[in-house]
């Protein structure tokens, strides 16, 4: 759900020790919001609370490297030694331990093979995806979100199974199944695929012209505790030579980005969130998504209304690769190296920014901000937020809880500049979205949150929603990165000297 984090490892500050050698300042993870396993009373954390590295790990010389958000009811962070720590889950909240780990108040390393080092991770509603320093991808959780394949390793010994590189995915479209190879060859068969776990839609979505049964859409308010619906960690296999450097997990789909700027995706695609040009229900193997060619446009002058400003821009840049990815509940977004933003997927609330509420089946340029060089993007359940090279923040989509930060609860079907007074003279460099709240971090380390706050996920000391960015009080620390889970927020910070 996150995408576009601030990159806590960038520009790391160093201090001198007694011997004159540089060393990293001590780091801490701050959390706030709703993590059911953290409090016995199940009460939300209304303000920042430090999460220290477990004593045993700290004694072994480990330390926090970065925050990775988390999914429904659990949080994740990555350590310097490449361990993925999880915490916050409980057995009575319907959360599968296969996804979250049997970890409550105290962070513990998720049971992955001991010989791998995780550098980045993300979580959707009930699945996780992580990458190693070598560019390998591990994923686990809801079976429909995990690529299928022949088990060729004893995962009882290694903690993971390896998906055969010769695997083919099974995708269903209009009740039929489609075999999808990594090279986009498609052939129809008459076999019908099993639907995923039950998931309900909001009442506002009930009037959508395509009414899909609740048995085929996961409910944001429920998840299954039946581990038979979950898959253990699986190594995802790509074409030879593909190295993955970024991951993003949505409600029921996953995107990954290679070091050459190629986007791959798998999982549920019924609203077009896999960008394959059709409503393929499920893609069960990594599939290349054509993004760059979608960003090639002839010179196109566009009048863009942004708050009280109007921008006349000309786009004559040629994108060569993708540099950032994000997954929302059922939509996706990517940013090219030329600063072009493309979106695809569910559009009911305008979260694709295309000026309408249609579903977008293929990556499509957000033409309203063609004159703006976008750097980072994040996506929530119904909304999208992005930041520009100039440090401005733009948002669009659903706004029922003020998650766009525009000062109202009105949805926006094209990107709108967030012109909050608190962001004046601030340069946003990182962005993250929870289900219905948003967060940015500035180049000075200021953290701002806005949107839904029922569970204290804004970190402002109360449970009142905000429709404009508000600064989170973390004066005792130096924030480096921010990452939102569904109902909570995490910040990677340093202790001040």
Looking at the predicted structure, is the pLDDT value of residue 124 above 90? yes
Averaged pLDDT of the chain = 79
pLDDT value, residue 16: 38
pLDDT value, residue 5: 42
- Please tell me the distance from the alpha carbon of residue 142 to that of residue 227, in angstroms, as a whole number: 9
pLDDT in tens, 217-226: 333 333 344 4
pLDDT value, residue 68: 97
Q: What is the gyration radius of the CA atoms in the chain, in angstroms?
A: 21
Please report, for the chain, the start and end positions of each structural domain, with discontinuous segments joined by +: 14-494
Looking at the predicted structure, is the pLDDT value of residue 291 above 50? yes
pLDDT value, residue 239: 86
> Among the listed ranges 149-163, 313-327, 332-346, 360-374, which one has the minimum average pLDDT value?
149-163
Query: Residues 469, 475, 480, CA angle at the centre, nearest 5°?
Result: 75
Looking at the predicted structure, is the pLDDT value of residue 240 above 90? no
Looking at the predicted structure, is the pLDDT value of residue 74 above 70? yes
Query: Model confidence at 163, in pLDDT bands (50, 70, 90)?
Result: very low
Q: Quick one: average pLDDT of 51-77? A: 94
> Among the listed ranges 109-113, 207-211, 291-295, which one has the minimum average pLDDT value?
207-211
Entry pTM: 0.81
Cβ(253)–Cβ(327) below 8 Å: yes
pLDDT in tens, 391-432: 999 999 999 999 999 999 999 999 999 999 999 999 999 999
Looking at the predicted structure, is the pLDDT value of residue 162 above 70? no
Count of CB atoms within 10 A of residue 67's CB?
Answer: 31
- Fold that domain 14-494 belongs to in CATH: Methylamine Dehydrogenase; Chain H (2.130.10)
Q: Quick one: average pLDDT of 363-382? A: 97
From 451, 442, 483, select the one nearest 382 (Cα to Cα).
451
pLDDT value, residue 25: 82
> Among the listed ranges 112-126, 191-205, 334-348, which one has the minimum average pLDDT value?
191-205
Look at the chain and count its residues.
497
From 417, 405, 394, select the one nearest 467 (Cα to Cα).
405
pLDDT value, residue 111: 92
From 121, 125, 25, select the one nearest 71 (Cα to Cα).
125
Distances (CA, A) of 358 to 112, 200, 416, 436: 40, 20, 18, 21
Beta-bridge partners for 128: 123, 140
- Please tell me the distance from the alpha carbon of residue 180 to that of residue 187, in angstroms, as a whole number: 8
- The fraction of the chain above a pLDDT of 90, given in percent, is 61
């Amino acid at each position: 759900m996150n995408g576009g984090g601030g990159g806590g490892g960038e520009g790391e500050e160093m201090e001198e020790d007694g011997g004159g050698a540089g060393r990293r300042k001590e780091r801490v993870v701050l959390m706030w919001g709703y993590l059911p396993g953290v409090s016995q009373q199940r009460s939300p954390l209304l303000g920042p609370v430090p999460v220290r590295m477990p004593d045993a790990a700290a004694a072994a010389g480990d330390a926090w490297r970065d925050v990775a958000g988390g999914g429904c009811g659990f949080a994740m962070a990555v350590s310097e030694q490449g361990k993925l720590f999880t915490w916050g889950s409980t057995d009575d909240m319907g959360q599968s331990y296969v996804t979250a780990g049997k970890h409550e108040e105290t962070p513990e390393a998720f049971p992955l093979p001991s010989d791998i080092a995780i550098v980045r991770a993300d979580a959707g509603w009930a699945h996780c995806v992580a990458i190693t320093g070598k560019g390998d991808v591990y994923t686990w959780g809801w079976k429909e979100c995990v690529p299928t394949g022949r088990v060729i390793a004893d995962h009882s010994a290694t903690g993971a199974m390896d998906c055969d590189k010769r695997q083919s995915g099974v995708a269903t479209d209009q009740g039929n199944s489609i075999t999808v190879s990594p090279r986009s060859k498609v052939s129809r068969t008459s076999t019908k695929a099993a639907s995923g776990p039950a998931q309900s839609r909001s009442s506002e979505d009930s009037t959508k012209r395509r009414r899909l049964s609740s048995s085929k859409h996961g409910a944001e308010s429920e998840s299954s505790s039946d581990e038979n619906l979950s898959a253990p960690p699986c190594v995802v296999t790509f074409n030879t030579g593909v190295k993955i450097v970024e991951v993003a997990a949505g409600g029921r789909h996953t995107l990954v980005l290679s070091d050459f700027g190629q986007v791959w995706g798998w999982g549920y695609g019924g609203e077009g969130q896999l960008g394959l040009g059709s409503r393929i229900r499920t893609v069960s193997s990594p599939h290349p998504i054509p993004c760059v060619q979608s960003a090639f446009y002839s010179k196109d002058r566009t009048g863009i209304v942004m708050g009280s400003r109007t921008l006349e821009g000309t786009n004559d840049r040629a994108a060569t690769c993708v540099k950032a990815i994000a997954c929302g509940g059922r939509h996706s977004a990517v940013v090219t190296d030329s600063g072009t933003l493309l979106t695809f997927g569910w559009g009911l609330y305008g979260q694709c920014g295309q000026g309408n509420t249609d579903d977008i089946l293929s990556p499509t340029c957000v033409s309203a901000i063609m004159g703006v060089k976008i750097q980072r993007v994040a996506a929530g359940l119904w909304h999208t937020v992005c930041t520009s090279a100039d440090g401005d923040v733009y948002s669009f989509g659903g706004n029922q809880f003020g998650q766009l930060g525009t000062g109202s609860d009105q949805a926006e079907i094209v990107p709108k500049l967030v012109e909050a007074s608190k962001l004046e003279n601030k340069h946003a460099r990182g962005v993250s979205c929870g289900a219905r709240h948003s967060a940015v971090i500035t180049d000075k380390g200021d953290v701002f949150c806005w949107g839904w706050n029922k569970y204290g996920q804004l970190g402002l000391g109360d449970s009142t929603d905000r429709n404009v960015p508000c600064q989170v009080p973390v004066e005792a620390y130096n924030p480096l990165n921010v990452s939102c889970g569904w109902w909570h927020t995490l910040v990677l910070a340093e202790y001040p000297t």
